[in-house]
């Protein structure tokens, strides 16, 4: 990561100072809740482990490995399931990760995954936070020099690693973070940050239209295509799943085989239905799609497979919906191969060996984070200081800023965040050719971070 221009160096220099202030502020932790929840989670894990000991799979596992049995070992579980019990592998299962294991739809595997998830929640998140508490506060570090993608990072504890994909886990962990007495936790998110910055690189008119016209919804439209739904049958679940597992996956360089596998698994895991409540798999069966497919890149997708359908959706996505974006990706990669580096719009140079997806993504992801960094720095070092505000910024998560808000300053702070992101940032960087927007979620006075509700 090389600051190529004086403006880029200034961004890193002032950003480091601002983030040092964020680290010093720290975020308050509800220690009673944390300790109580760690104990409850431990007891729950013990009960769940006792519950699976009477199953055929557990007994086969114990017979096979005896004293060397490790209940958390995925390799041992693989041996027991497919070599000892000879359970058939479903289409598309090529590993022992959570996505693949969910394809088995096996009661023991579901319970085993739930146990492992709870263990990770306790050891990685809850206990990890508890270790870092000093006088009721945690002070995560936010270094700017450790990530090749240009995005921000965090450690001790990793403030950016709190899960959001699993709502139960995310709420369990966020419940531990509370404001200083008499204050409110707020989170300001730059809406569609990476999509907006990507548009400044590829300048695809269809994408810019999606960004600028609030009546249009890219994620809704792609949910309609992926699940063959009319517009009035797209709901929050199908839209959200398509957004993360197809749209952003495609933007980051994934392909139809992985997208099909994860979408198919999510239909069961997230219990996706149409707006009228019809299970998505039943709906797709009515459209002639009855199986996932073989997921073999060396073979054509099977007729009537979800894999074949998603392959067609992917082709349409790039060749018809976003052809300018598609052409830019090829041009951008060719330019890197010719010069040996890429230069970002925010004034940095990425060089050295990079894979195709890294070439495409580094500039976009880095620039998007730099937009957040500039906004955070502007708020802390200029706007809030000038107004002598007592509200504190206590964390950042890639596209969002977490704050400890004084209630009397709440409305002023919200307006200030909006002004900095939507007006001042664009004035600083005229190459931002699309409007910026923010979303704000705030919890009640003295309520935990988990209780945040949308304000704007």
pLDDT at residue number 95: 81
Radius of gyration (Cα) for the chain, nearest Å?
24
DSSP string, 265-295: HHHHHTT-B-TTS-BHHHHHHTTT--B----
- Show the tokens assigned to 242: 């398509």
- What does DSSP say about strands 400-405 and 392-397: parallel, antiparallel, or unpaired? antiparallel
Examine residue 354 and say whether the peptide bond preceding it is cis (omega within 30 degrees of 0): no
**Three-state DSSP class for 142?**
coil
- What is the predicted pLDDT for the residue at 330? 96
Amino acid 3: pLDDT: 65
> What's the per-residue H, E or C state across 191-232?
CCHHHHHHHHHHCCHHHHHHHHCCCCCHHHHHHHHHCCCCHH
Distance CA 260, CA 262 (A): 6
3-state helix, strand, coil in the chain (%, to 5): 55, 10, 30
- Specify the pLDDT at position 101: 87
Q: List residues bridging with 349 in a β-sheet.
A: 2, 343
Cα 384 to the center of its chain, rounded Å: 29
Task: Break the chain into its structural domains and give their ranges.
Answer: 2-26+139-194+362-454, 31-131, 205-321
Helix ranges, 301-381 (H): 306-316, 323-339, 356-378
Phi, psi of 250 (to 5 degrees): -65, -40
Q: Which two tokens stand for residue 213?
A: 């016209």
Cα(199)–Cα(367) distance, rounded to whole angstroms?
A: 11
Task: Quote the pLDDT of residue 91.
Answer: 67
Residue 412 near residue 389, CB atoms below 8 Å: yes
Homologous superfamily assigned to 31-131:
Taq DNA Polymerase; Chain T, domain 4 (1.20.1060.10)
Query: Per CATH, the architecture of 2-26+139-194+362-454 is what?
Result: 2-Layer Sandwich (3.30)
- Distant-in-sequence, close-in-space partners of 381: CB < 8 Å, separation ≥ 6: 14, 17, 18
Q: Residue 85 is encoded by which pair of tokens?
A: 């019990």
Residue 354 DSSP label: -
Report which DSSP code applies to 107. Answer: H
- Answer positive or negative: Cα dihedral of 288, 292, 298, 299: negative
Q: Which residues, 6 or more positions from 168, have their beta carbon under 8 angstroms from its beta carbon?
A: none
Segments of the chain with pLDDT less than 50: none
Nearest C-alpha neighbor of 397 from the set 187, 185, 106: 187
- Give pLDDT, residue 98: 83
pLDDT of residue 229: 98
């Amino acid at each position: 990561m090389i600051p190529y221009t004086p403006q880029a160096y200034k961004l890193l220099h002032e950003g480091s100072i601002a983030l040092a202030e964020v680290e010093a502020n720290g975020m308050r932790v509800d220690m009673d809740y944390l300790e109580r929840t760690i104990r409850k989670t431990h007891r729950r894990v013990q009960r769940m482990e006792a519950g699976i000991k009477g199953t055929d799979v557990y007994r086969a596992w114990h017979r096979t490995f005896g004293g060397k049995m490790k209940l958390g070992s995925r390799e041992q579980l693989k041996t027991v399931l497919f070599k000892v019990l000879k359970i058939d592998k479903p289409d598309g299962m090529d590993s022992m990760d959570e996505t693949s294991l969910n394809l088995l739809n096996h009661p023991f595997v579901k319970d085993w995954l739930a146990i492992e998830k709870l263990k990770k929640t306790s050891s990685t998140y809850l206990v990890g936070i508890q270790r870092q508490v000093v006088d009721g506060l945690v002070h995560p570090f936010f270094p700017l020099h450790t990530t090749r993608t240009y995005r921000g990072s965090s450690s001790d504890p990793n403030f950016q690693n709190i899960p959001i994909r699993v709502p139960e886990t995310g709420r369990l962990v966020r419940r531990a973070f509370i404001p200083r007495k008499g204050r409110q936790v707020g989170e300001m998110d730059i809406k569609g940050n990476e999509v907006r910055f990507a548009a400044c690189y590829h300048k695809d008119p269809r994408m810019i239209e999606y960004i600028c016209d609030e009546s249009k919804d890219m994620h809704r439209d792609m949910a309609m295509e992926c699940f063959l739904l009319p517009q009035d049958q797209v709901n929050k679940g199908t839209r959200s799943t398509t957004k993360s597992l197809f749209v952003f996956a495609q933007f980051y360089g994934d392909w139809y085989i992985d997208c099909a596998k994860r979408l198919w698994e999510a239909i069961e895991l997230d219990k996706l239905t149409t707006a009228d409540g019809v299970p998505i798999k039943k709906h797709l069966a009515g459209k002639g799609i009855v199986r996932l497919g073989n997921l073999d890149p060396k073979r054509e997708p099977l007729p009537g497979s979800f894999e074949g359908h998603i392959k067609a959706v992917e082709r349409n996505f790039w060749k018809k919906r976003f052809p300018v974006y598609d052409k830019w990706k090829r041009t951008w990669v060719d330019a890197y191969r010719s010069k040996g580096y890429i230069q970002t719009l925010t004034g940095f140079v990425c060089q050295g060996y990079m894979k195709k997806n890294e070439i495409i993504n580094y500039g976009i992801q880095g620039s998007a984070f730099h937009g957040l960094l500039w906004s955070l720095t502007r708020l802390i070092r200029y706007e809030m200081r000038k107004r002598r505000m007592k509200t504190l910024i206590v964390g950042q998560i890639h596209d969002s800023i977490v704050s400890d808000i004084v209630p009397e300053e709440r409305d002023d702070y919200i307006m200030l965040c909006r002004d900095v992101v939507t007006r001042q940032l664009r004035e600083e960087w005229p190459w931002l050719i699309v409007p910026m927007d923010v979303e704000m979620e705030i919890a009640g006075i003295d309520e935990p971070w988990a209780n945040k509700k949308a304000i704007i």
